């Protein structure tokens, strides 16, 4: 379970995240949408304990991230948008290291390493240094690392970037299965079709505020949008409906 | 026909970046700039002062004086040329094959010659700025002593420019050829090992040859031999020799135009050859540089040896230690620095052995004790330099992976603990080797041996903590090259603090050591009195604080890191 209470982040006079309240219960896949610079990544990084909020609370699995960081983070699997990993470790070594950070080791971890790498078709690359992995392979490795310790909550920033269609499909299945087993996923994405197809509920953030939140039907009802698509709703809510004519973008 | 971007346009992003960096440095960072500027000025003044005295002395010596001044300049310029050649080879690899702007440039309709000249310019500036700065006090001293006048100020850059261009072209061409043979990343590894090994061997050879012996006049049979030797050009085919002749010709006359023509025509000719080579080889080389260097690693050594040895540690700490060791020993740019470290230790011990203390007569006990005691200061400085290179960057190097460490339940104390001991244990071993061997070579008394060992142990613990603490206080998360991190502002502050600590320890410990020397000198029994107790306690407290506080402050700073 994820609970945000009045979550705020200010950089000087600029407010990136403005008092967000949100509750994502167990067994829910929540989609977090918003235009560039809306505050999505900042919010996710505060949830993961990488950034400190200026104000407000983050509760993960019943533990406050600021007050009980060890207990809260032990329940979390975080997947960032930029796949920075140690270049001079092999894929298997990286996963073993991450498991160690979560105080897990032994045969069970070795088995999970083999299973996860096989699942993402990385077995052949298991003993190769990460420096020779492609962007997509690194992304797969990071996703594997977020699952290696069997978290209760997954917070993921732009998971589909760099993944091939097969891996993207696999990831969708993993998240669905994870949620069906009682896990919680908070996922930020720009791929609206993915959000519409996968998410139980969707929140749209604009200028640091959640401007809409609910199931697809609830969002349509809130905005009196009939049976419009998530794309139409998104553009309406984020001011992108007045998209200029394509010709004016491509013309002189 | 597609119009290509001009050369000036291509280098615009570089100078704009440099300008905005200067501007951002000016905003609210006055103190930092002032400190760096002051240190730079002191260094300049020091180089200028020493050279000025030497040259003034040479000027006063008839016949040999000008020859000596010319030889000295030739030697300096030859060292510059060698340094430039090595640094250009490394820099060219980054600017031509690994830089982030290459994809954009390679996919744009940029004329290949403009591309080459822009990248050559970038390589020249990046690898030569330090040498160019270093040259300022040297030529200032020459200009003032030999009254070069205002025209000399314009003449120096005119002569120096081809001397910077020539190694840049050669270095770039060497790199271009190597990249066509090996993948770029493997080339970087090979180059860093070759460069460091070459530098290490050079330094060691220079020291072991003992150049001070050549200063002895009895080494030459007659003055005529000496003058003949000085008159002979050392290396008439090297550009450094042409530059020396041009400079000395200007200062002492007569001015010969030939060396100037040689310098400029060689530089121009080499640029043309370099461009032709670039046109032929850059395409395939750049393409090859994109290919990953496949490197399958089983890691059996770490798994089978280190895992059981570190078994008593908690899993997170153990994995962290193993990870740090793997990253260090798999990165040739990192471990190859150990070659220099080995050279440093050999030269250190060689210098102690070369001290003229044991030449037949009874060695004064006082002298031995003082050398043994002051050696602690030197050892402290050496340890500080090594900690600056290996321990100080360790927090900064985690920067890009901090998302993982901060989102996991890793206690930052465990991270600090691992980093501290991974850095400190090798430092302790090194400190003990230096101290014990030095004291054995000096035939120091058991008392001084004990004082040396305990003090250097305490100092090492503190120096390592200071390196880690300052590393956390002044992190360089954007720098990927570990070798650049110690030269930052934080590295400078760390070195200054450590030197102050070493000085403090020496001053406090002078009290008990003084008491011991006085008693031993008078032939009285050495009594462990209150003076000794206070002195040693002072050192323990000072080193204890210098260990505890930086770790504590560094940890607090790390908890505040945001990414």
Show me where the domains of chain A are located.
Answer: 2-75+151-250, 83-150
All residues of chain B having their beta carbon less than 8 Å from the beta carbon of residue A91 are none
- Picking from A101, A113, A134, A144 by the largest number of B CB atoms within 10 A of its own CB, the best residue to mutate is A101
Q: Under the phi-then-psi rule, with left for phi > 0, alpha for psi from -120 to 50, and beta for the rest, what region is B290?
A: alpha
Tokens (6 digits) for A69: 């960081």
Looking at the complex, report in whole angstroms how far the Cα of residue B324 sits from the nearest Cα belonging to chain A: 10
A-chain residue closest to B397, CA distance: A86
Tokens (6 digits) for B233: 């050009």
B-chain residue closest to A49, CA distance: B407
pLDDT at residue B350, rounded to an integer = 81
Tell me the pLDDT tens digit for each residue of B241-292.
Answer: 999 999 999 998 888 899 999 999 999 999 999 999 999 999 888 887 776 5
Q: Cα(B53)–Cα(B396) distance, rounded to whole angstroms?
A: 42
Tokens (6 digits) for B77: 């310029």
Query: How many alpha carbons lie under 13 Å from residue A25 in its C-beta half-sphere?
Result: 4
pLDDT at residue B7, rounded to an integer = 67
Q: Cα(A186)–Cα(A77) distance, rounded to whole angstroms?
A: 11
Query: How many alpha carbons lie under 13 Å from residue B553 in its C-beta half-sphere?
Result: 15
Residue A97 CB coordination number (10 Å): 22
Closest CA to B398 of A54, A179, A139, A87: A87
pLDDT at residue A60, rounded to an integer = 93
Interchain contact, A52 vs B408, CB within 8 Å: no
pLDDT at residue B223, rounded to an integer = 60
Query: Residues B318-346: what's their mean pLDDT?
Result: 84
Residue A190 has pLDDT above 70, yes or no: yes
Query: Residues B97-104: what's their mean pLDDT?
Result: 82
* DSSP assignment string, chain A: -EEEEEEEEEETTEEEEEEEEEEE-TT-EEEEE--TTSSHHHHHHHHTTSS--SEEEEEETTEETTTSHHHHHHTEEEE-SS----TTSBHHHHHHHHHHHTT--SHHHHHHHHHHHHHTT-GGGTTBBGGG--HHHHHHHHHHHHHTT--SEEEEESTTTT--HHHHHHHHHHHHHHHHTT-EEEEE-S-HHHHHHH-SEEEEEETTEEEEEE-HHHHHHHTT-TT--HHHHHHHHTT-SSPPPHHHHH--
Q: What Rg do the C-alpha atoms of chain A give, in angstroms?
A: 19
Mean pLDDT check: name the lowest of B41-50, B119-128, B180-189, B437-446: B180-189
Query: Residues A111-139: what's their mean pLDDT?
Result: 90
Residue A243's pLDDT band, with cuts at 50, 70 and 90, is low
All residues of chain A having their beta carbon less than 8 Å from the beta carbon of residue B404 are 78, 85, 98, 101, 145
Interchain contact, A96 vs B319, CB within 8 Å: yes
Residue B11 has pLDDT above 80, yes or no: no
Q: Which CATH architecture has domain A2-75+151-250?
A: 3-Layer(aba) Sandwich (3.40)
Interchain contact, A129 vs B330, CB within 8 Å: yes
For β-strands A29-33 and A201-206, DSSP reports them as: parallel
Q: What separation in angstroms does the CA of B396 have from each of A150, B37, B86, B383, B385?
A: 30, 24, 26, 20, 17
B residues 158-197 near A, CB within 8 Å?
Answer: 185
Residue B16's pLDDT band, with cuts at 50, 70 and 90, is confident
Q: Cα(A59)–Cα(A40) distance, rounded to whole angstroms?
A: 17
Token pair 């971890």: residue: A109
Instruction: Give the sheet arrangement for strand A55-60, strand by strand.
Output: A14-24, A2-11, A55-60, A63-64
Q: Cα(B501)–Cα(B527) distance, rounded to whole angstroms?
A: 28
Query: How many alpha carbons lie under 13 Å from residue B559 in its C-beta half-sphere?
Result: 12
Q: Which of B19-33, B173-187, B524-538 has the highest mean pLDDT?
A: B524-538
- Give the nearest partner residue to B315 out of A48, A105, A127, using CB atoms: A105
pLDDT at residue A91, rounded to an integer = 93
All residues of chain A having their beta carbon less than 8 Å from the beta carbon of residue B323 are 86, 89, 93, 97
pLDDT at residue A161, rounded to an integer = 79
Q: Cα(B541)–Cα(B208) distance, rounded to whole angstroms?
A: 40
Q: What Rg do the C-alpha atoms of chain B give, in angstroms?
A: 27
- Give the nearest partner residue to B316 out of A88, A89, A101, using CB atoms: A101
All residues of chain A having their beta carbon less than 8 Å from the beta carbon of residue B407 are 48-50, 73, 76, 78
Tokens (6 digits) for B537: 């306690």
Tell me the pLDDT tens digit for each residue of A61-75.
Answer: 999 998 998 999 999
Tell me the pLDDT tens digit for each residue of B71-84.
Answer: 889 888 888 888 88
Mean pLDDT check: name the lowest of A206-210, A225-229, B385-389: A225-229
All residues of chain A having their beta carbon less than 8 Å from the beta carbon of residue B315 are 100, 103-105
Residue A244 in contact with residue A238, Cβ under 8 Å?
A: no
pLDDT at residue B521, rounded to an integer = 77
pLDDT at residue B425, rounded to an integer = 93
Residue B212's pLDDT band, with cuts at 50, 70 and 90, is low
Q: Determine the number of helices (DSSP H) and then strands (DSSP E) in chain B.
A: 21, 0
Polymer length of chain A: 252
pLDDT at residue B373, rounded to an integer = 87
3-state SS of B214-234?
Answer: HHCHHHCCCHHHHHHHHHCCC
Phi, psi (5° rounding) for residue A157? -105, 115
Enumerate residues 6+ apart whose C-beta is below 8 A from B282: B96, B112, B116, B176
Does any CB of chain A come closer than 8 Å to the CB of residue B478?
A: no
**A and B: number of Cβ contacts within 8 A:** 100
Burial B199-214 (b: 16+ CB within 10 A, else e): bbeeebeebeeeeeee
Residue B228's pLDDT band, with cuts at 50, 70 and 90, is low
Tokens (6 digits) for B361: 């007569």
pLDDT at residue B476, rounded to an integer = 86
Decide: residue A228, CB within 10 A, 0-12 exposed, 13-18 middle, 19+ buried: middle
Does any CB of chain A come closer than 8 Å to the CB of residue B296?
A: yes
Query: Residues A135-142: what's their mean pLDDT?
Result: 90
Report chain A's terminal Cα–Cα distance, integer Å.
51
Tell me the pLDDT tens digit for each residue of B411-422.
Answer: 889 899 999 999
Q: Cα(B396)–Cα(B401) distance, rounded to whole angstroms?
A: 10
Residue B356 has pLDDT above 90, yes or no: no
Closest CA to B558 of B409, B402, B393: B402
Interchain contact, A48 vs B292, CB within 8 Å: no
Query: Residues B491-515: what's their mean pLDDT?
Result: 91
pLDDT at residue B311, rounded to an integer = 84
Q: Cα(A192)–Cα(B416) distance, rounded to whole angstroms?
A: 42
Does any CB of chain A come closer than 8 Å to the CB of residue B103?
A: no
Mean per-residue pLDDT over chain B, rounded: 84
Interchain contact, A51 vs B563, CB within 8 Å: yes
Q: Cα(B172)–Cα(B91) distance, rounded to whole angstroms?
A: 8
Closest CA to B234 of B71, B349, B108, B369: B71
- Picking from B293, B408, B559 by the largest number of A CB atoms within 10 A of its own CB, the best residue to mutate is B408
Residue B468 in contact with residue B418, Cβ under 8 Å?
A: no
Polymer length of chain B: 563
pLDDT at residue A248, rounded to an integer = 56
Does any CB of chain B come closer than 8 Å to the CB of residue A17?
A: no
- Give the nearest partner residue to B318 out of A70, A100, A102, using CB atoms: A100
Residue B375's pLDDT band, with cuts at 50, 70 and 90, is confident
Residue B178 in contact with residue B96, Cβ under 8 Å?
A: no
Residue A152's pLDDT band, with cuts at 50, 70 and 90, is very high
Interchain contact, B295 vs A129, CB within 8 Å: yes
Residue A144 CB coordination number (10 Å): 22
Tell me the pLDDT tens digit for each residue of B28-61.
Answer: 566 777 777 888 888 889 999 999 998 998 888 7
Interchain contact, A50 vs B407, CB within 8 Å: yes
CA angle A239, A242, A244 (to 5 degrees): 130
Closest CA to B467 of B435, B432, B492: B492
Does any CB of chain B come closer than 8 Å to the CB of residue A119?
A: no
ipTM for the assembly: 0.83
Residue A17 has pLDDT above 80, yes or no: yes
pLDDT at residue B219, rounded to an integer = 54
All residues of chain A having their beta carbon less than 8 Å from the beta carbon of residue B320 are 97, 100
Show me where the domains of chain B are located.
Answer: 7-290, 315-559
Does any CB of chain B come closer than 8 Å to the CB of residue A70?
A: yes
Residue A105 in contact with residue A81, Cβ under 8 Å?
A: no
More confident residue, B148 or B221: B148
Share of chain B above pLDDT 70, in %: 87
Q: Cα(A49)–Cα(A63) distance, rounded to whole angstroms?
A: 12
A-chain residue closest to B296, CA distance: A128
Interchain contact, B295 vs A71, CB within 8 Å: no
Interchain contact, A100 vs B326, CB within 8 Å: no
All residues of chain B having their beta carbon less than 8 Å from the beta carbon of residue A76 are 407
Mean pLDDT check: name the lowest of A98-107, B197-206, B536-545, B551-560: B197-206
Residue A46 in contact with residue A10, Cβ under 8 Å?
A: no
Looking at the complex, report in whole angstroms how far the Cα of residue A218 sits from the nearest Cα belonging to chain B: 33
All residues of chain B having their beta carbon less than 8 Å from the beta carbon of residue A78 are 403-404, 407
Mean pLDDT check: name the lowest of A92-106, B5-19, B167-181: B5-19
Mean pLDDT check: name the lowest of A160-164, B135-139, B195-199, B201-205: B201-205
Query: Residues B121-137: what's their mean pLDDT?
Result: 89
Does any CB of chain A come closer than 8 Å to the CB of residue B301?
A: no
Tokens (6 digits) for A9: 């982040």
Q: How far is CA A22 from the centre of its chain?
A: 15
Phi, psi (5° rounding) for residue A89? -105, 155
More confident residue, A147 or A239: A147
Residue B89 in contact with residue B179, Cβ under 8 Å?
A: no
Residue A137 in contact with residue A122, Cβ under 8 Å?
A: yes
């Amino acid at each position: 379970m994820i609970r945000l209470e009045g979550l705020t982040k200010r950089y000087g006079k600029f407010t990136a995240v403005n008092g967000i309240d949100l509750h994502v219960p167990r067994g829910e896949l929540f989609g977090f949408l918003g235009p560039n610079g809306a505050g999505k990544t900042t919010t996710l990084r505060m949830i993961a304990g990488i950034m400190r909020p200026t104000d407000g609370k983050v509760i993960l699995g019943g533990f406050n991230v600021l007050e009980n960081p060890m207990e809260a983070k032990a329940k979390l699997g975080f997947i960032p948008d930029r796949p920075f990993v140690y270049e001079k470790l092999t894929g298997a070594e990286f996963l073993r290291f991450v498991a160690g950070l979560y105080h897990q080791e032994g045969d069970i971890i070795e088995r999970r390493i083999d299973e996860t790498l096989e699942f993402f078709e990385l077995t052949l690359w298991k003993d190769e240094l990460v420096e020779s992995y492609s962007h997509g392979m690194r992304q797969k490795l990071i996703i594997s690392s977020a699952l290696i310790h069997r978290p209760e909550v997954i917070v993921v920033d732009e998971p589909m970037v760099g993944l091939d269609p097969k891996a993207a499909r696999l990831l969708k299945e993993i998240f669905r299965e994870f949620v069906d087993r009682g896990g919680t996923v908070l996922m930020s994405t720009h791929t609206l079709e993915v959000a519409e197809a996968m998410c139980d509920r969707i929140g749209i953030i604009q200028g640091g505020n959640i401007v809409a939140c609910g199931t697809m039907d609830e969002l349509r009802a809130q905005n009196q949008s009939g049976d419009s698509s998530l794309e139409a709703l998104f553009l309406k809510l984020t001011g992108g409906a007045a998209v200029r004519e394509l010709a004016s973008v491509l013309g002189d | 026909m597609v119009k290509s971007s001009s050369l000036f346009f291509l280098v615009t992003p570089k100078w704009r970046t440099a300008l905005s960096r200067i501007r951002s440095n000016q905003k609210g960072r006055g103190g930092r700039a002032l400190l760096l500027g002051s240190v730079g000025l002191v260094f300049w003044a020091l180089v200028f002062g020493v050279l000025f005295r030497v040259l003034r002395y040479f000027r006063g010596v008839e016949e040999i004086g000008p020859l000596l001044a010319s030889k000295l300049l030739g030697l300096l310029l030859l060292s510059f040329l060698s340094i430039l050649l090595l640094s250009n080879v490394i820099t060219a690899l980054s600017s031509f094959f690994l830089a982030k702007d290459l994809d954009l440039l390679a996919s744009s309709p940029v004329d290949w010659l403009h591309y080459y000249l822009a990248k050559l310019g970038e390589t020249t500036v990046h690898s030569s700025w330090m040498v160019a700065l270093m040259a300022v006090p040297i030529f200032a001293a020459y200009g003032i002593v030999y009254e070069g006048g205002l025209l000399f100020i314009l003449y120096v850059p005119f002569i120096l420019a081809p001397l910077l261009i020539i190694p840049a072209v050669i270095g770039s061409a060497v790199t271009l050829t190597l990249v066509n043979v090996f993948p770029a990343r493997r080339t970087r590894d090979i180059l860093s090992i070759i460069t460091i090994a070459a530098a290490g061997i050079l330094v060691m050879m220079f020291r072991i040859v003992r150049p001070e012996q050549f200063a002895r006049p009895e080494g030459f049979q007659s003055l005529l031999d000496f003058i003949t030797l000085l008159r002979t050009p050392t290396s008439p085919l090297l550009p450094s020799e042409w530059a020396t002749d041009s400079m000395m010709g200007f200062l002492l006359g007569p001015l010969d135009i030939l060396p100037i023509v040689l310098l400029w025509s060689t530089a121009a000719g080499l640029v043309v050859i370099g461009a032709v080579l670039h046109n032929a080889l850059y395409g395939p080389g750049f393409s090859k540089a994109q290919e990953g260097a496949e490197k399958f690693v089983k890691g059996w050594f770490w798994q089978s040896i280190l895992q059981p040895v570190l078994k008593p540690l908690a899993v997170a700490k153990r994995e962290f230690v193993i990870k740090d060791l793997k990253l260090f020993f798999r990165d040739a740019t990192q471990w190859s620095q150990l070659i220099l470290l080995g050279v440093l230790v050999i030269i250190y011990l060689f210098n102690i052995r070369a001290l003229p203390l044991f030449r037949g007569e009874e060695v004064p006990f006082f002298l031995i004790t003082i050398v043994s005691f002051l050696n602690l200061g030197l050892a402290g400085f050496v340890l500080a330099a090594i900690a600056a290179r290996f321990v100080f960057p360790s927090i900064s190097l985690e920067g890009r992976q901090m998302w993982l460490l901060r989102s996991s339940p890793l206690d930052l104390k465990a991270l600090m603990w691992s980093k501290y001991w991974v850095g400190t244990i090798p430092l302790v071993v090194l400190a003990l080797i230096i101290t014990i061997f030095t004291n054995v070579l000096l035939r120091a008394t058991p008392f001084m041996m004990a004082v040396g060992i305990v003090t250097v142990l305490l100092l090492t613990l503190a120096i390592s903590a200071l390196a880690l603490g300052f590393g956390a206080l002044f992190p360089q998360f954007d720098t990927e090259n570990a070798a650049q991190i110690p030269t930052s502002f934080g590295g400078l502050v760390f070195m200054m603090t450590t030197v102050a600590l070493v000085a403090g320890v020496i001053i406090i410990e002078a009290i008990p050591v003084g008491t011991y020397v006085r008693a031993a000198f008078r032939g009285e029994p050495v009594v462990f009195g209150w003076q000794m107790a206070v002195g040693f306690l002072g050192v323990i407290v000072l080193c204890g604080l210098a260990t505890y506080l930086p770790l504590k402050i560094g940890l607090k700073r790390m908890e505040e890191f945001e990414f």
